């Protein structure tokens, strides 16, 4: 069992006891505004989501619960390598916690997997995520229209990529 410890966070594998904490995140309208699925309406949806996270095959993904002061506040990982995914409860936004989690996560995945690049797929309106990823060295590689059908219409995707060399040679660890 891999646990990543940063200055303020603990990244650990999910357990079924995380269902309530993830329901708080995944039912939150603000947190899921640019997520690939609408906000969860039932605890059962969040239970199925956590079960899928726990069952992620090790050769396909690597997923971590992000814990702050002993409480699960979100997740960071790769449901399907090499695509990164992350979400935090809005109460944890604006403190550099997502950045702190992603630095540890990317360090870990590049140290343990033979990946030339890590990729991301972000809604162009999701400025917080774009700022976070571009601040970490991700570069835009493409744009695809109408990739996700949401409650209020179609969303587009900005594709981004971070290559191993950019990460290992960055000046700002
Ligand atoms: C994407 C998401 C994780 C980003 O959260 P975030 O808190 O904005 O991200 P960061 O960790 O980079 O924090 C940056 C903010 O913390 C502030 N900050 C405070 N202390 C900081 C520190 N020590 N280091 C860095 N930033 C710090 C920055 O100034 C910035 O503030 P701002 O939001 O007022 O500009 C969050 O918005 C989220 O969960 N969104 C919903 C899910 C989602 O869209 N996921 C992506 C799908 S592809």
Q: What is the mean pLDDT of the chain?
A: 96
pLDDT digits (tens, 9 = 90+) for 53-96: 999 999 999 999 999 999 999 999 999 999 999 999 999 999 99
Q: Which atom of ligand 1 is closest in space to residue 98's alpha carbon?
A: 11
13, part of any domain: yes
> Looking at ligand 1, which residue's alpha carbon is closest to its atom 24?
96
Question: With a 6 A CB cut-off, is 86 part of the ligand 1 pocket?
Answer: yes
Report the CATH number that the domain containing residue 55 is assigned in CATH: 3.40.630.30
Question: With a 6 A CB cut-off, is 88 part of the ligand 1 pocket?
Answer: yes
The predicted structure's pLDDT at residue 1? 81
pLDDT digits (tens, 9 = 90+) for 97-140: 999 999 999 999 999 999 999 999 999 999 999 999 999 999 99
Tell me the C-alpha to C-alpha distance, in Å, between residue 61 and each of 81, 90, 113, 153.
Answer: 5, 25, 10, 29
The predicted structure's pLDDT at residue 123? 96
Q: Report residue 46: phi and psi, to 5°.
A: -70, -35
Nearest-angstrom CA–CA distance, 11 and 17: 15
> Looking at ligand 1, which residue's alpha carbon is closest to its atom 25?
96
C-alpha 132 to ligand 1 mean position (Å): 6
C-alpha 103 to ligand 1 mean position (Å): 13
Total domains in the fold of the chain? 1
Please say if the pLDDT value at position 172 is more than 70. Answer: no
**How many Cβ atoms from other residues are within 10 Å of residue 122's Cβ?**
23
173, part of any domain: no
Question: With a 6 A CB cut-off, is 160 part of the ligand 1 pocket?
Answer: no
The predicted structure's pLDDT at residue 43? 98
The predicted structure's pLDDT at residue 170? 83
Host domain of residue 125: 4-168
The predicted structure's pLDDT at residue 173? 56
CB 39 within 8 A of CB 27: yes
Nearest-angstrom CA–CA distance, 11 and 19: 16
The predicted structure's pLDDT at residue 133? 98
């Amino acid at each position: 069992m891999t646990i990543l410890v940063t200055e303020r966070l603990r990244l650990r594998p999910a357990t079924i006891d995380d269902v309530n904490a993830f329901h708080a995140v995944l039912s939150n309208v603000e947190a899921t505004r640019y997520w690939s699925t609408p906000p969860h309406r039932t605890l059962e949806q969040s239970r199925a989501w956590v079960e899928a996270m726990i069952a992620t095959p090790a050769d396909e993904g690597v997923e971590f619960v992000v814990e702050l002061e002993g409480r699960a506040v979100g997740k960071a990982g790769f449901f399907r390598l090499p695509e990164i995914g992350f979400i935090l409860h809005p109460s944890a936004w604006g403190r550099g916690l997502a950045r702190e989690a992603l630095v540890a996560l990317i360090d870990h995945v590049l140290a343990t997997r033979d990946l030339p690049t890590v990729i991301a797929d972000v809604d162009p309106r999701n400025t917080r995520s774009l700022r976070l990823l571009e601040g970490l060295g991700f570069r835009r590689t493409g744009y695809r229209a109408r990739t996700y059908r949401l409650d209020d219409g179609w969303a587009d995707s900005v594709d981004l990529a971070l290559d191993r060399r950019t990460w290992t040679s960055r000046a700002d660890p």
